[in-house]
Structure 1
């Protein structure tokens, strides 16, 4: 099918990127479980390796099953191309890799997943990169943090764990004025709830492990390229705007235009970093995306009902869900996430850290796991797990204080979820 603008989201999530198999007529995308692909002849092989022709060489770089997933995610996000990789963390490195260099920095929101804060504050130092963490509600602070060595601005559309909604248009305007790309992690929102590219983001990253797959079976990541950033407007991005020695001096921005970032991420990023998504994982994610809109609608409906109940429970100190009228981020739903505030949020127990530990041990229907975005409802105490490596100040800034529990609301019967929370709260606060 043609992935034209006339098709709606529900149609594209089923059909985008996929055609019946030309050999067998198989309607579902096959799992091309092959390491390598046969060349037609020597000239064909040379053209592929010279990036003069698009095709399949070796599954570290390109694979037909993964290619369908890449086209589908890019279409749903409104991008020109996408690159899939082995995990959400891999996607973050893949997004930064063509932009950064020794001595360069990324300005990042202080409200991020704990693993991302650790990756940015510790691990990327090994590349000679650094990160500055800023409260993105303070646009003046974001502006002040950007300097001559800044190469990207990074945020989450709906922040994990608190469910805070970032004012993407405002942050994008700051990044544009500074001549650097905005990278938006859209994992918690998915393109059904939020379209960061339409709001001004240059790149979108995903942990496809979460809502896109939706069934807790495989890990994966994706980087979506808007195709709108002019990499040649300055000398800040030589990987894309200067001659590439590995390809006989070819310039990616000149040769591939709007697809420069996408082609660089495959031809250099996947080639050398090797953060490859396997074709079976891509297949599971494709099947998950087919029901994305249906699941996200139910996630949002359940989250509103559960969060409202928790907010009125005397054992709960506060709830952070942006879908509640009491949330300071509620007004951003209409402009950033018009179909709802997602299914992820936190709430604080009046009994503090110990009550939180007793609570996660007492749930029965909720699963105590280090994941989110599953069809099942999930819970975790971030301060003792996903955000454990952070300082108390960092935990509080990220929305993962010791008295806070994170929930990922699934698609079960909302009344059953409330009953489970009720009995667990009773045990935690007894």
Structure 2
């Protein structure tokens, strides 16, 4: 079974269990604990022997099926589903870094990720060094013997920057540093991380995977890797498990001890959404390109960013790296000032004002007053977040209705 959609629907084709009464939908195992035939079987479960579930904070059958489906979809070696996309990032960094270590990242990050790096990890003694991935000499100059990871977003949110992944991955390989990529905006349907030497992929499953913003969740994908022997925190795991060192660190230690489990009902909702993922992404991206082309030609729009527009500085990279016609759901829109941005947002009738994206519904948000509200004007300027910036996330509606709503809202400005 090679087709992407077939993998979404069927996983590995090994789930025809009589224990599920051959149900064509994965049941919701909404339980905290499980029964065992005897004390010996319970002991085996705690020692990782056999296919046992002991406690749903560590593993659950519904969540396990979602992991199976996502792993197959992404061609990963391992997949771990967690409580949120933010926990996916947190657990990965904490599995690689100790106090005194550092990571490299772009300053163009989702606002909460930036806060995690400069506030939370800083209090743990983990330093984040912000670099320009367009300047590999600068990146290399920030690497030292305590650099444990390089972190990047596949397409930055909301700046929509696309880096040269091959060059960054080549540098990470030369330096034996794990490369971590947040692929939320595209998923493996739009960008196959495993083909570009990305070691660890993280996503928020609350977005495209969820299929209608029904639940919060995240996932960590571990791709084939030979760098674990160079990570001091994974020394024991590498000696015992070789290439499985990372998953043997994150699962029984960080994930289990910090309680970042996904709820079974959330996993079930994501299994439902997963089956139509590619259909939704294709339609949303088609709508987004049309919306960007309409806005690009409107006299009241000061500036617009969408990577499949011919004048985008990232058009060539988008076409090189991403699936054909996949430019993402996000449009970065620039109006004159905050008041004009608010007036436009408030005039929209069908497009909702909200924080999500990759939803079935089109949504809009003013990043400077919301996601980036904790940062100074200077910090926001450095991150290309201006008073007139809006993030428009296109949904599945008929494009004629999206255009009509955008047009009537612009007319009042």
Is TM (by shorter chain) over 0.5? yes
> How far apart are 1:21 and its partner, in Å?
4.2
1:221 to 207, 218, 221: 218
Q: Is the 8 A contact 2:202 2:218 kept in 1?
A: yes
From 270, 283, 295, the equivalent of 1:285 is 270
Cα offset for 1:156?
Answer: 0.8
Shift of 1:426: 2.1
**1:126 Cα deviation from its structure 2 partner:** 2.2
Q: Distance in 2 between matches of 1:333 and 1:151?
A: 28
Match of residue 333, structure 2, among 329, 344, 347: 347
RMSD: 1.5
CA 1:42 to 1:255, structure 2 compared with 1: closer, same or farther past 3 Å? farther
1:263 aligns with 2:248: yes
**How do 1:9-48 and structure 2 match up within 5 A?**
9-17=4-12, 19-23=15-19, 24-48=21-45
Following the alignment from structure 1 to structure 2, what is the Cα–Cα distance between the partners of residues 160 and 297? 19
Give the corresponding residue for 1:106: 103
SS where residue 44 of structure 1 aligns?
Answer: helix
After superposition, the C-alpha distances for 1:272-331 in whole angstroms (9 at most, x for unaligned) are 110110000001111111001100101110111000111111111111111111000000
**1:312 is matched with which residue: 297, 311, 320?**
297
2:235 corresponding residue in structure 1? 241
Determine which of 370, 384, 398 is the counterpart of 1:399.
384
Q: CA deviation at 1:69?
A: 0.9
Asked whether the 8 Å contact 1:108–1:155 carries over to 2, the reply is: yes
Identify the residue that residue 176 of structure 2 maps to in structure 1: 179
Q: Is the 8 A contact 1:161 1:398 kept in 2?
A: no
Is the aligned partner of 1:421 residue 2:391? no
* Distance in 2 separating the partners of 1:74 and 1:393: 41
Q: Unpaired runs of 5+ in structure 2?
A: none
So what's the TM-score if we normalise by structure 1?
0.92
Q: Indicate the residue corresponding to 1:384 in structure 2.
A: 369
Distance 2:224 2:44 in 1: 24
- Distance in structure 2 (CA, Å) of the matches to 1:397 and 1:201: 27
Superposed CA deviations along residues 149-173 of structure 1, whole A, max 9, x for unmatched, are: 2111111111111222232221111
* TM-score using structure 2 length: 0.95
Q: 1:276 aligns with which of 261, 286, 290?
A: 261
CA distance, structure 2, for counterparts of residue 256 and residue 345 of structure 1: 44
Q: How far, CA to CA, are the matches of 1:206 and 1:147 in structure 2?
A: 28
State the alpha-carbon separation in 2 of the partners of residues 300 and 227 from structure 1: 30
Distance 1:265 1:17, change over 3 A: farther
Deviations 1:384-411 (A, max 9, x none): 1011112333323333222110011111
Q: Distance in 2 between matches of 1:36 and 1:391?
A: 47
Q: Which runs of 5+ in 1 are unaligned?
A: 1-5, 243-251
Instruction: Give 1:362's match in structure 2, choosing from 340, 344, 347.
Output: 347
SS in 1 for 2:391: strand
1:336 to partner: Cα distance: 1.6
Say whether 1:83 aligns with 2:80.
Answer: yes
- The alpha-carbon distance between structure 1 residues 56 and 210, as it changes in their structure 2 partners (threshold 3 A), is same
**Secondary structure of the corresponding residue to residue 228 of structure 2:** coil
Residue aligning to 1:249: none
Distance in 1 (alpha carbons) for counterparts of 2:67 and 2:377: 39
Aligned 8 A contact 1:21 1:29 in 2: no
Query: 1:17·1:68 contact (CA, 8 Å) conserved in 2?
Result: no
Aligned residue among 227, 231, 243 for 1:230 = 227
Deviation at 1:219, TM superposition (A): 0.4
What is the distance in 2 between the residues matched to 1:128 and 1:220?
27
Shift of 1:54: 4.1
1:292-331 aligned at under 5 Å gives the runs: 292-331=277-316
State how far apart, in whole Å, the 2-side matches of 1:399 and 1:410 are: 24
